[in-house]
Chain A
Amino acid sequence: MTTQKVLMCGNEVLAEAAVRAGCRCYFGYPITPQNEISAYMSKRMPEIGGVFIQAESELAAINMVFGASAVGVRAMTSSSSPGVSLKQEGISYIAGAELPAVIVNVMRGGPGLGNIGPAQSDYFQAVKGGGHGDYHQIVLAPYSAQEVSDITFLSFDLADQYRMPVMILTDGVIGQMMEPAVIEKKEVRNLLPKDWALTGCRGRKPNVVKSLYLGDKVLERHNLKLQERYRQVAAHEVRYDAYHLDDAELIVVAYGICARLCKSAMNDLRAKGMRIGMIRPVTLWPFPSRIISQVAGTGKSFLTVEMSFGQMVEDVRLAVNGKSGVHFYGRGGGEMLTREEVLKEMERLYAQLRGGKNV
């Protein structure tokens, strides 16, 4: 493959970008709407001398990632909502063992087995820690095929740099939609050699990969080390796009596929003279709280738009901290928001705001 523009679905772009990012072990278990990732990897991994395994379960797949990562290999697993729930134990162990890993969740409708429609209702699980313990994973939410590629390259570097799990959070539409993309690495990071990996200890002290820490305050010390790392991530890795914050009276906050709808609606309404702006979080953890906090205040209101019944809106409220009104619009259960309904809600809220009513 060349680095020319290709027309591929988000799932395939993700798989190819992972291969080019150096992923050499992929473990998966089938579930719609992410099967294109596994299908692509089953063909591609043997071509490059990598490993593709269709595991016996999601639990097995995430623990295979644990194993591959422990020996220093770039490894990835992917699934969709119900399958990602099953991986949570493994993710917590990987976080505890300070291992890099890339986990993909192509979200579908829930709860339970739900349906196969696109959704954003796994936000809580992804950013608040679906597994047990005081851990975080970096969560990245692309909104186009091109960004799927860019974020996939970035995810492997972030995972290695901070030795922690990174989740790529997309949805059924981003996964299934074909769109032009150039699959190439854009950012270069200087990464340290993986001197912690289990590579055979002849001539050196054995390395230990574990998440069990017994003894007086040993686990607390381990946790404090992790917390310090999370602070570093929060300080250096926040990513977002911001539009028209200078004059905006209504600021829309949306990520992933919703952000596309909102951006297009915002552009139409601005053309009619409405002062609407937008913040598009690219990292959901760490969340772009600072920019939201900075712009919050008198004369500004926020509208969070999600394909859920209100999850990210809680982080927006925390960042706003009472300085502005925070509104919510969304739908769930695997139903796709339309551009028209988002536009109507933005228009309605803006008019209400301008009318001086208490918003």
Chain B
Amino acid sequence: MIHEEIIIAGFGGQGILYAGKVLATAAMREDRQVTYLPSYGAEVRGGTAFCHTVIAEEEIATPVVTDPTAAVILNTPSKEKFEGKVRKGGLIVLNTSLTGDIHKRADAAYVDVDATEIAERLGNVRATNMVMVGAFAGRARIVPLEALVSASAELLHGAKKEIIAINEQALKEGWKIGHG
């Protein structure tokens, strides 16, 4: 039975909310139950941005994630905040370009991704979020890669073709790393 409660976290401007929306939209197109909740508190500009995405087969009780099965972490303050919160046996995906690769948890699985570097190599550092989402989904296997690619394009409708193409590449590169 699929039931994933995912926190995606980074700093404002890293496309954290967009990353959650891509994941949620892909899950919706796969006919999963899904909720997505942005942090709407009085966040400080430049502070930690995060969102909660729940993907399940059964009706979802609450969109608020208090006991995450997975954390997708894009910067160091978010690592400090969320690494310890992932439930035992959960999954932590690190953007090691910014967080380093120290694993504080022995009871969780890690996927290390040089996501910022990969995105820079692909030509747009802003695609870091898609590398990370790709890596998470490649490991967790809750939505197929194709669904993520079309969700990303769907949410970016009207955007330049190059940006859509880089996002697609970023998702694929991430997926390869996550899938291992």
Q: Which residues from chain A sit less than 8 Å from chain B, CB to CB?
A: 5, 7, 32-33, 116-117, 172-173, 176-180, 257, 260-261, 263-265, 336, 338-340
Contact = CB atoms under 8 A, between A and B. Distances in A.
A8 to B, nearest CB: 10
B28 A7 contact: yes
Given A7-B36, A177-B37, A339-B62, 17 more contacts: A5-B28, A116-B42, A172-B40, A173-B62, A177-B36, A178-B21, A179-B34, A180-B28, A180-B34, A257-B62, A260-B59, A260-B61, A261-B62, A264-B58, A264-B59, A264-B61, A338-B62
Contacts of A339: 61-62
Contacts, number: 61
A97 to B, nearest CB: 36
A7 B60 contact: no
B65 to A, nearest CB: 10
A173 B61 contact: no
A173 B64 contact: yes
Interface string B40-64: 1110000000000000001111111
Given A33-B40, A172-B40, A7 B34 contact: yes
B38 interface: yes
A30 B63 CA distance: 25
A208 B66 CA distance: 55
A260 B37 CA distance: 15
B25 interface: yes
Given A7-B24, A261-B62, A338-B62, A179 B35 contact: yes
B137 to A, nearest CB: 17
Contacts of A257: 62
Q: Please tell me the size bucket of the interface on B.
A: 20 to 34
A263 B63 contact: no
A178 B36 contact: yes
A336 B24 contact: no
B24 to A, nearest CB: 6
Contacts of B66: 338, 340
A116 B43 CA distance: 12
Contacts of B37: 173, 176-178
A5 B60 CA distance: 17
11 contacts: A7-B24, A173-B62, A179-B63, A180-B28, A180-B34, A260-B60, A263-B59, A263-B61, A336-B62, A338-B66, A340-B67
Interface in B6-44: 21, 24-25, 28, 34-38, 40-42
A329 B61 CA distance: 17
A181 B152 CA distance: 19
Among A116, A180, A336, A340, max chain B CB count under 10 A is at A180
A141 B59 CA distance: 18
Give 9 nearest A-B pairs by CB, closest first: A264-B61, A178-B36, A177-B63, A180-B28, A339-B61, A177-B37, A176-B40, A179-B35, A260-B61
A88 B46 CA distance: 39
Given A176-B40, A178-B37, A179-B34, A7 B25 contact: yes
B40 A336 contact: no
A177 B35 contact: yes
A81 B24 CA distance: 30
Nearest to B63: A177
B64 A336 contact: yes
A108 to B, nearest CB: 10
A7 B34 CA distance: 9
Nearest to B151: A7
A176 B40 CA distance: 8
A176 B35 CA distance: 10
Contacts of B25: 7
A338 B28 contact: no
Interface string B51-94: 00000001111111011000000000000000000000000000
A53 B35 CA distance: 31
A196 to B, nearest CB: 41
Given A336-B62, A338-B62, A338-B66, A116 B41 contact: yes
